[in-house]
Amino acid sequence: MSTLIKGGRIITAADDYVGDVYVDGERISMIGESLDVDADRVVDASGKYVLPGCVDPHTHLDMPFGGTVTIDDVTSGQTAAAFGGTTCHVDFCIQTPGQSFADALSDWHAKREGKQLIDMGYHIAVTDLRDGGSLEELAELPAQGITSYKLFMAYKGALMVDDETLFRTMEVAAETGALVMVHAENGDAIDVLVKQALAAGNTAPHYHALTRPPETEGEATNRAIQLARVAGAPLYVVHVSCREAVEPIARAREQGWDVWGETCTQYFFIDYTYLERPDFEGAKYVYTPPPRAIENQDVLWHAVRSDILSAISTDHCAFLWDGQKSIGRDDFSKIPNGGPGLENRLHMIHEFGVRTGRISLNRMVELLATNPAKLFGLYPRKGTIAPGSDADIVIFDPDKRHLITADTQHSRTDYNLYEGTEVTGSPEIVFLRGNVLVEGGELVAEPGVGEFVERAAFGQELLPAATR
């Protein structure tokens, strides 16, 4: 099927102009002014933005954690993503202790097969190099399109790795062209602080933040940067939340080191005081790193504006407040860590980033689509509007008013971090490889239209599927 999108304002990371986009099958065929071509469908995009589909590099769907499983599976999570203008994401295949990487991938592929509404890839989360996966097996993964290794420097006794595992993985990444991702918090120090808080009878949700002070994030961020420098590996620091973590990333980037960082939508809007809300409502905002003091929000806006931080993800890790978060009603350390957000990233960053003048439209596209695609081996197939790229396109109405509320969201969770926020600007039509996913507020596609994408090695381009 062919589609001609006429007269829209086409916005990429580098360009901003009015033109037409011709889609032939799954790929963008031509871009120009007043294109004279026949098409099966013509979309009048006058007065609308034509954006590349957003790419979320950090999500957790159907993930076991804290004695339960995230409430969104691949279908429900990707439905939320589609309504929010996200057409591709990279989730995490988490190796359990004693498990080979091949077995882990087999388990996680089974979670998505036949259920996908948008395209996706996997990062491999390394948790065990002694009794489970080997360095040799890890080195084989980039050839299978798994080109990023994730390591947790926190969650002691569960996901946390020691510095030897971290460093050896970095060495493999330097050899194989993979990107190392770190959850940077000092898990040992946090473990001591948590035990001390509980021993003192401090069990309320806000102690989640008090036992994970920003210094523990800053220390681990700097440690990861220095180890990656020694190993010669490129490093990506996930969900940066505070000045203490921004500063070592800024220093590294000033030196020209191969270091990048992301933050998440929630850190611009949710601060520590949300954790203090009464009647256990604070548990809704228990995610890691925790919400910080409000002054960090200006730090983060500066960091994304100035390219100290290069991407905005959601770290979508949704649980029910009533029934899952409530596991930790009497012990903050048992509250499943994570929050929703896949559906509202574009809404919130457009409203409070672009419309307030904090960032430009081009920078918004760069943060939400182009940079994630480049960093994670998806560009130029994803993350831009160009001839030959996948026709992942969002027709965005900049004047459409939208009320964010759990009552109308598409995630299965029972709350929304931004409940009651009204924004101006919302996706109108969302295409995935030329297929209509969402139109007129309705889901048009069915599970199975999405594909698994084997990603290119770090720093290399991913060619369109038909030419690889």
* Total tally of structural domains belonging to the chain: 1
**Per-residue three-class SS string for 152-214:** ECCCCCCCECCHHHHHHHHHHHHHHCCEEEEECCCHHHHHHHHHHHHHCCCCCCCHHHHCCCH
Contact in structure between 31 and 20 (CB atoms under 8 Å) = yes
Is the pTM for the entire model greater than 0.85?
yes
pLDDT on residue 465: 65
Q: In whole angstroms, give the CA distance from residue 20 to residue 33.
A: 6
Judge whether 432 lies within some domain: no
Q: 3-class SS at 293?
A: coil
pLDDT along the chain (468 residues), means of 10: 97 98 98 96 98 98 94 98 98 95 96 97 95 91 96 96 97 98 98 98 98 98 98 98 98 98 98 98 98 98 98 98 96 97 98 98 98 98 98 98 98 98 98 97 97 96 69
Q: In whole angstroms, give the CA distance from residue 294 to residue 265.
A: 14
**Domain CATH number, residue 240:** 3.20.20.140
Judge whether 339 lies within some domain: yes
Q: In whole angstroms, give the CA distance from residue 401 to residue 413.
A: 23
Cross-strand bridge partners of residue 68: 65
Judge whether 458 lies within some domain: no
pLDDT on residue 406: 98
Query: Which segments of 5-100 does DSSP mark as H helices, in order?
Result: 74-83
Place of tokens 């101006």: 424
Q: In whole angstroms, give the CA distance from residue 438 to residue 119.
A: 15
191: domain range? 53-375
Judge whether 210 lies within some domain: yes
Using CA atoms, how far residue 224 sits from 167, 204, 260, 286, in Å, is 9, 31, 12, 24
Q: What is the per-residue burial (b if ≥16 Cβ within 10 Å, else e) of 299-322?
A: bbbebbeeebbbbbbbbbbbbbbe
Judge whether 179 lies within some domain: yes
Instruction: List phi, psi (to 5°) of 106.
Output: -60, -45
Judge whether 47 lies within some domain: no
Judge whether 367 lies within some domain: yes
pLDDT on residue 222: 98
Judge whether 124 lies within some domain: yes
Q: In whole angstroms, give the CA distance from residue 361 to residue 8.
A: 14
pLDDT on residue 130: 87
**Of 165, 155, 223, whose CA–CA distance to 191 is shortest?**
155
- Dihedral angle over CA of 45, 49, 50, 56, nearest 10: -140
Contact in structure between 90 and 458 (CB atoms under 8 Å) = no
According to DSSP, the β-strands at 54-59 and 86-94 are: parallel
